[in-house]
Amino acid sequence: MSVLQASVGVKGKNLEDDVQTVQSLLKSKGYDPGPVDGVCGPDTIAAIRTFQATFLARPDGLIEPGRKTWVRLSSSGGASTTPDLTQWSGDSAKWTQEKKLQSLHPELRPKVVAVLRALEQRGFQPKIYYGWRSVAVQLQLYFQGNSKVKFSFHNAQKPNGTPNSYAADIIDSRFGWSPGAEQSGFWKALGEEAKARNLTWGGDWVSFRDWAHVQLVPNSELARVKQESGL
Amino acid sequence: MIKTAVIAVLVFSAALPARAERLWLVIGASDPSAAALARKTKTLALDTPDSLVVQTSDCGDKKNFYAWVAEAATSPEAAHAALRRVRTAARDAYVKRCDTQPGTLLALRITAVDASIADVPETAVNWQENDRISTVRPLPDGRAIVIARYFAKVKDDPLEGRRERVILAESSDKRRVLEENCPSPGRVAMRHGRVAFHCVREEAADNLIHNVVVFDTTGEKLAEIKRCRNPKWLNELVIECEEESVGPDGQLKLRTIRSSPLPPLPSATSSHQAP
């Protein structure tokens, strides 16, 4: 369990050790606070705000010992040798934004965070609808006729069964998949921001569009990802 | 009386001659699995462009298997002549008598397993046996809709090259491709020879999103209605379907809408009765 001696962030005390702790934890959760150097600069504050946006209506960029942001940041940041699979149960579309981010592959996570941040800066209200989705749910969708695939990049997991999704579905929380998403330019912006970070975007798939979908690797790697997942 | 006769002629002329027919199939290879047969016959098919894969249930067999047929002969003599040629490439080739079942792929001389299926990579993750087998749906007016499943070698395809071509077949030599790729084509709604069905086009949360495609009696495309499913004809000019919308909660909402009026039917067929 990490320890915070004083506040970090906007108008915080920003002790070097505390800032380093916060920067490390933010990185472990897929955010990009810049280098872990103990200096609370604009990147660190932006990362704190982005993290807070996943559970606070009004992010203030400040972390204080014992308060909500610190509790969230320090709760599951450390490495665990025995995975607690029960925490990954339930409808993953209803998980918190933070948990959805945590369910992503470590290389995808910072890219998705950057895409979310860039879309916010463009005036959108992005959120992750799906990060990881279990194989059991995927099969259910397939057999109900609600999906064309039995295994997707959303289903990728570590061999120990914990989520390691290679894909995320990102929507604007005002529109979802309704026509407003296209009319407002959200899909186009999502595609631009995703591709700027070398992500594959499902809106480019002429044979079968998946507008909200961004993916870490090309479709040709599906077999490798399935094998890597131990499935 | 005259009107009845006109209708009878029109219906008869449109009817698919997919009647029971005795054939002698020159079979070069067979397998219970479509995937295995496609691989087995990949090289054979190259030398015999008119060959087709037949599912023996099309001959009325209770136990189905897939047979690579080099020639479907209409007499035993023709079959045995062909057999000698085929045995140069396939030593175990043989002749099977087949009473073709009406309304089947064999009656239409359409292969049950497209040659491209042989190229599906063995590492493909989401290909199932059913994705390799074409199917036929007879229409009430005697024609048929064929779903020809095939593999398209497209780099980084989200469906790993799985494709479904929709063909309107009037006879073994009169066919028209309606849709080159229509994933999971829905039930066909028909009125005065016009047909409408939906194809999967998009994914949204836990839902598949469809377009409705509408075709004239000749197979000419009349309309494509975006994000709609389950078309029904209100009359020969207007279609009703369920418009699909998925909000931020991921829930699918359906709303019945009506299409804009379609072009009127050609006068020659305006007396054609609805099936």
- B23-54 pLDDT, tens digit each: 999 999 999 999 999 998 887 766 677 799 99
CB contact under 8 A, A177 and B181: no
Residue in B156, B209, B248 nearest the CB of A173: B248
Contact A15, A6 (CB under 8 A): yes
Q: In this structure, is the dihedral angle defined by the CA atoms of residues B98, B101, B107 and B109, taken in order, positive or negative?
A: negative
Q: What is the pLDDT of residue B267?
A: 65
| C-alpha A27, offset from chain centre | 12
Q: What is the pLDDT of residue B228?
A: 98
Q: What is the rounded CA–CA span in Å between residue B257 and residue B242?
A: 6
Res. B3 pLDDT band, cuts 50 70 90:
very low
DSSP letters for B42-59: HHHHHH-TT-EEEEGGGG
- Asked if residue B152 has pLDDT above 80, the reply is yes
Non-local (6+) Cβ contacts of B133 within 8 A are B34, B55, B112, B113, B149
Q: Where exactly are the structural domains of chain B?
A: 16-100, 184-275
Chain A contact present for B153, CB below 8 A: no
Q: Mutate which of B159, B165, B206, B207 to test chain A, going by most A C-beta atoms within 10 A?
A: B206
Chain B residues within 8 A of A172 when measuring between CB atoms: 248
CB contact under 8 A, B205 and A177: yes
Smallest CA–CA distance, residue A38 to chain B, in Å, is 39
Extract the tokens encoding B49: 């462009």
Chain A contact present for B154, CB below 8 A: yes
Higher-confidence position of B10 and A154: A154
**A207: alpha, beta or left? (left if phi > 0; alpha if psi -120 to 50):** alpha
Q: What is the pLDDT of residue A36?
A: 79
Residue in A127, A145, A202 nearest the CB of B158: A202
Residue in B126, B158, B248 nearest the CB of A205: B158
Contact A216, A105 (CB under 8 A): yes
Q: What is the pLDDT of residue A73?
A: 84
Q: What is the rounded CA–CA span in Å between residue A129 and residue A100?
A: 8
Average the pLDDT over B148-162 and give the result: 96
Smallest CA–CA distance, residue A80 to chain B, in Å, is 31
Q: What is the mean pLDDT of chain B?
A: 88
- Asked if residue B69 has pLDDT above 50, the reply is yes
Chain A contact present for B155, CB below 8 A: yes
- Asked if residue B258 has pLDDT above 50, the reply is yes
Average the pLDDT over B118-143 and give the result: 95
- Asked if residue B223 has pLDDT above 60, the reply is yes
pLDDT tens digit string along B174-204? 899 999 999 999 999 999 999 999 999 999 9
Q: What is the pLDDT of residue A67?
A: 86
pLDDT tens digit string along A95-140? 999 999 999 999 999 999 999 999 999 999 999 999 999 988 999 9
In 3D space, the residue among B32, B165, B41 whose CA is nearest the CA of residue B115 turns out to be B41
- Asked if residue B224 has pLDDT above 70, the reply is yes
Q: What is the rounded CA–CA span in Å between residue B41 and residue B34?
A: 11
Q: What is the pLDDT of residue B112?
A: 97
CB-hemisphere CA count at 13 Å for B39? Answer: 8
| Alpha-helix residue ranges (DSSP H) falling in chain A | 16-28, 42-53, 68-75, 97-102, 108-121, 135-143, 179-183, 186-196, 222-228
Chain A contact present for B200, CB below 8 A: yes
Q: What is the pLDDT of residue B249?
A: 97
Chain A contact present for B206, CB below 8 A: yes
ipTM entry: 0.84
**At residue A178, what are phi and psi to the nearest 5 degrees?**
-70, 170
Q: What is the pLDDT of residue B5?
A: 38
CB contact under 8 A, A93 and B208: no
Smallest CA–CA distance, residue B70 to chain A, in Å, is 33
Chain A, 120-159: which have a CB under 8 Å from a chain B CB?
Answer: 127, 129-130, 141, 145-151
CB contact under 8 A, B184 and A175: no
Residue in B154, B201, B250 nearest the CB of A93: B250
Chain A, 22-51: which have a CB under 8 Å from a chain B CB?
Answer: none
Ranges of residues in chain A with a pLDDT under 70 are: 1-2, 30, 76-83
Res. B83 pLDDT band, cuts 50 70 90:
very high
- Asked if residue B245 has pLDDT above 50, the reply is yes
From A102-116, B37-51, B136-150, B221-235, the region with the lowest mean pLDDT? B37-51
Chain B residues within 8 A of A206 when measuring between CB atoms: none
Chain B residues within 8 A of A214 when measuring between CB atoms: none
Q: What is the pLDDT of residue B171?
A: 76
- Asked if residue B17 has pLDDT above 50, the reply is no
Chain B contact present for A220, CB below 8 A: yes
Rounded to the nearest 5 percent, the helix, strand and coil shares of chain B are: 20, 40, 40
> Largest alpha-carbon pair distance within chain B?
67
Chain B, 87-106: which have a CB under 8 Å from a chain A CB?
Answer: none
CATH number of this structure's domain B16-100: 3.30.70
